[in-house]
Amino acid sequence: MNITSKLPNVGTTIFIVMSALAKEHHAINLSQGFPNYPSSQKLNDLVTNAMNNGYNQYAPMAGNLDLRLAIAHKYQLLYKSTYHPEKEITVTAGATQAIYTIISAFIRRNDEVIMFKPAYDCYEPAVEINGGKTIPVQLSAPNYKVNWDKVASKISSQTKMIIINSPHNPSGTIWSKDDMLQLQKLTRNTDIIILSDEVYEHIVFDDAQHQSACLFEDLKQRSFICASFGKTFHNTGWKIGYCCATEALMVEFRKVHQFNVFSVHHPSQKGIADYMQDPETYLGLNTFFQRKRDLFLSLISESRFKFQPSQGTYFQVLDYSEITDESDVDFAKRLTVDFKLASIPLSVFNTNNQDDKVLRFCFAKTDETLVKAAEILSKI
């Protein structure tokens, strides 16, 4: 067959590459972003109860109503922001499906989508497969600060969407209130849609506040917020996420969603809804992960790696420029093969593979794993 690929430049993701290399060489895997400890037994039991109580057929297309009510309550509690549970919240097969569906619902051929690099690797292929054009704004280590004059220069009559991500994967930085106000100012009185990837909203450190798009009223009217229960509740394999948006935007989203997955795993939705009746299930995550971050950084404080403490997410970026001149991809592979510790090189997420000599490490791991990883890093 003569096959013309719709994604000719897309290969195997770096996450698969590094995890496979870690498995092959029996290395500690701090590359892919998933915990190596179990999710809550209470949550597991609630999902089992949902199965035993008959939640085994299709959920409503928009999601189990109890879960949508719990999500709406969370936004009211945390942000004093209202989303209608029946019209403005949809449960999805992870945040990735929400992101893909949003892009598919709105991006047409030659539409331009601004995104900030380094960017999570699911954004650009979704734009490309729908005929859109990615307009990158490159951020640089160590601060990954946004130059808003540069962003303004990228906006054109073809700009249909801007994708933002805070707390930011892979850098572990967060956007300030001023960043959000700048974005709101740039997009006011336009038809530009904001796709706000907020999957790490509950993992923000040092008493900082997550600046959700829903906190800014004009921005909220043009924004989708995407979130992930897999990241929040330590069970990435369940692939349960959701998105929130105004009714006008959500109507278009659901037109695509219903013919994509229609609905997602019903007992998981019901179990999560029951689990969320106690807000501490998500309010305590900042403290939980900050302790892990602080443990990891204290253990490598005497190493040759340089760092600025992660502001959010469960990722820590380490600068290895005083250790070797190798490319980050080569060093990440050597670190895995020779030292038995896997990480993620950031250049693969950058424009033209810009190499800032940094690697990303996931600290959503047991203390024992973090101690072993730190011992390796301290010997390099």
pLDDT single digits (tens) 107-148? 999 999 999 999 999 999 999 999 999 999 999 999 999 999
Instruction: Please say if the pLDDT value at position 12 is more than 90.
Output: no
pLDDT for residue 36: 94
With H, G, I as helix, E, B as strand and everything else as coil, classify residue 222.
coil
Ramachandran angles phi, psi of 348, nearest 5°:
-65, -15
Percent of residues, the chain, with pLDDT higher than 90: 97
Q: How many residues does the chain have?
A: 380
pLDDT for residue 142: 94
pLDDT for residue 131: 97
Domains and CATH numbers, the chain: 14-39+281-378 (3.90.1150.10), 41-278 (3.40.640.10)
Instruction: Please say if the pLDDT value at position 11 is more than 90.
Output: no
Instruction: Please say if the pLDDT value at position 1 is more than 90.
Output: no
Question: Each residue of 210-256: pLDDT tens digit?
Answer: 999 999 999 999 999 999 999 999 999 999 999 999 999 999 999 99
Mean of per-residue pLDDT scores for the chain:
97
Greatest C-alpha distance within the chain = 59
pTM above 0.95, yes or no: yes
Ramachandran angles phi, psi of 304, nearest 5°:
-90, 0
DSSP for residue 191: -
Instruction: Please say if the pLDDT value at position 65 is more than 90.
Output: yes
pLDDT for residue 10: 86
How many whole angstroms separate alpha carbon 375 and alpha carbon 152? Answer: 45
Instruction: Please say if the pLDDT value at position 316 is more than 90.
Output: yes
C-alpha closest to that of 270 among 40, 64, 45:
64
Instruction: Please say if the pLDDT value at position 325 is more than 90.
Output: yes
pLDDT for residue 79: 98
Higher pLDDT, 1 or 273: 273
* Mean pLDDT value across residues 338-355: 96
Would you place residue 9 in the very low, low, confident or very high pLDDT band (cuts 50, 70, 90)?
confident
How many whole angstroms separate alpha carbon 118 and alpha carbon 327? Answer: 16
